[in-house]
């Protein structure tokens, strides 16, 4: 399987196309990840809050693929924020994934005890247990504040990016801090008829590609890391087949017309913040 790589601020290379496992039931995860490995995926994105780290660990163990050939990302959830709590959660993730290091470790939300959590993550990084560190769902303001007060700035911010919520210019903003953007929800979770959208369909016909491939290529050309997810082998193969064409500047501009400004998860909305914080036992 072809891939392209981006270089993080500390020199670590990250595959630009990965495989997401959000909302894949734990009982299905092992078989799905094993199939993805067979297809050729080597970059996997999971989280403490996805409750399927152990199944990914089993899939990797049974695949026979050497650990150094894989790029593993996981995240600490808000309920485990805090210095000691984060250290404990990290070790639990290591144990479940059956590995002695994580390639990329992220804070999952920009709320709660972010700074004590980040200090723990910085220490784990300096100990060599993490190759790269970053955050998820940080707004530009929160990201700026963390960068200004951190000993080691986050190297990644994983945020929602899709044709309906494009976050135009976010890649340039993050470059100011030498950080790479990752896109979750790239296919808008299939909502609002995205797979039959006339503009995306027309562009797809032009290149002989599916709507999903057009979207993934659009994100990749923006210099953003992306994680499509599918439990079907045919879709896994299709989603990976995005390195043999390039969207024209005109087509990149056409996709801008799809912006609605409405996110799947309004991470800066008080109601959403209250909901997330309610998960803290």
Longest dimension (CA), the chain: 54
Q: Look up 50 and say whether it is catalytic.
A: yes
Query: Active site residue: 41, 50, 81, 125, which one?
Result: 50
What are 252's two structure tokens? 């990149």
Total number of domains constituting the chain: 1
Long-range contacts of 60-66, Cβ-Cβ distance < 8 Å, separation of 24 or more: 60/33, 60/97, 60/98, 60/99, 61/98, 62/30, 62/34, 63/34, 63/37, 63/38, 65/37
Q: Which of 143, 158, 163 is nearest to 263 (CA)?
A: 163
pLDDT value at position 280?
Answer: 74
Q: Each residue's pLDDT tens digit in the chain (281 positions)?
A: 899 999 999 999 999 999 999 999 999 999 999 999 999 999 999 999 999 999 999 999 999 999 999 999 999 999 999 999 999 999 999 999 999 999 999 999 999 999 999 999 999 999 999 999 999 999 999 999 999 999 999 999 999 999 999 999 999 999 999 999 999 999 999 999 999 999 999 999 999 999 999 999 999 999 999 999 999 999 999 999 999 999 999 999 999 999 999 999 999 999 999 988 887 76
Q: How far is the CA of 92 from the CAs of 44, 80, 88, 101, 216, in angstroms? A: 18, 11, 6, 12, 32
- Return the pLDDT at 281: 60
Instruction: Tell me how far apart the alpha carbons of residues 1 and 204 are, in angstroms, rounded to a whole number.
Output: 21
The number of angstroms, rounded, from the C-alpha of 151 to the middle of its chain's C-alpha atoms is 23
- Find the helix or strand (DSSP H, E) in which 170 lies: helix 170-175
The pLDDT assigned to 278 comes to: 85
Indicate the angle between helix axes 26-39 and 233-240, nearest 10 degrees: 50
Q: Which of 32, 46, 42 is nearest to 66 (CA)?
A: 42
CATH number at residue 44: 3.20.20.100
Q: Distance of alpha carbon 166 from its chain centroid, rounded? A: 15
Domain encompassing residue 170:
5-277
């Amino acid at each position: 399987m072809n891939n392209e790589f981006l270089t993080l601020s500390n020199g670590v290379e990250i595959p630009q196309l990965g495989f997401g496992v959000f909302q894949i039931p734990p009982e299905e995860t092992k078989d799905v990840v094993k199939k993805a490995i067979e297809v050729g995926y080597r970059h996997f994105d999971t989280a403490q809050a996805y409750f399927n780290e152990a199944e990914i660990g089993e899939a990797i163990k049974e695949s026979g693929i050497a650990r150094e050939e894989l790029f593993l990302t996981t995240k600490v959830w808000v309920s485990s924020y805090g210095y000691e709590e984060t250290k404990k959660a990290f070790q639990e993730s290591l144990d479940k994934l059956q590995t002695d290091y994580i390639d990329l470790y992220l804070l999952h939300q920009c709320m709660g005890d972010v700074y004590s959590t980040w200090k723990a993550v910085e220490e784990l990084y300096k100990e060599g247990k993490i190759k790269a560190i970053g955050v998820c769902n940080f707004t530009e303001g929160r990201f700026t504040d963390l960068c200004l007060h951190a000993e080691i700035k986050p190297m990644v911010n994983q945020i929602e990016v899709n044709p309906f919520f494009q976050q135009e210019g976010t890649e340039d903003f993050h470059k100011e801090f030498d950080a790479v953007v990752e896109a979750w929800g790239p296919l808008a979770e299939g909502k609002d008829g995205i797979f039959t959208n006339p503009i995306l369909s027309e562009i797809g016909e032009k290149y002989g590609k599916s709507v999903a491939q057009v979207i993934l290529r659009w994100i990749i050309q923006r210099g953003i890391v992306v994680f499509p997810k599918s439990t079907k082998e045919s879709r896994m193969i299709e989603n990976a087949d995005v390195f043999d064409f390039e969207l024209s500047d005109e087509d990149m501009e056409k996709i801008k017309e799809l912006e609605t400004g409405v996110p799947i998860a309004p991470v800066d909305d008080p109601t959403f913040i209250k909901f997330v914080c309610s998960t803290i036992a």
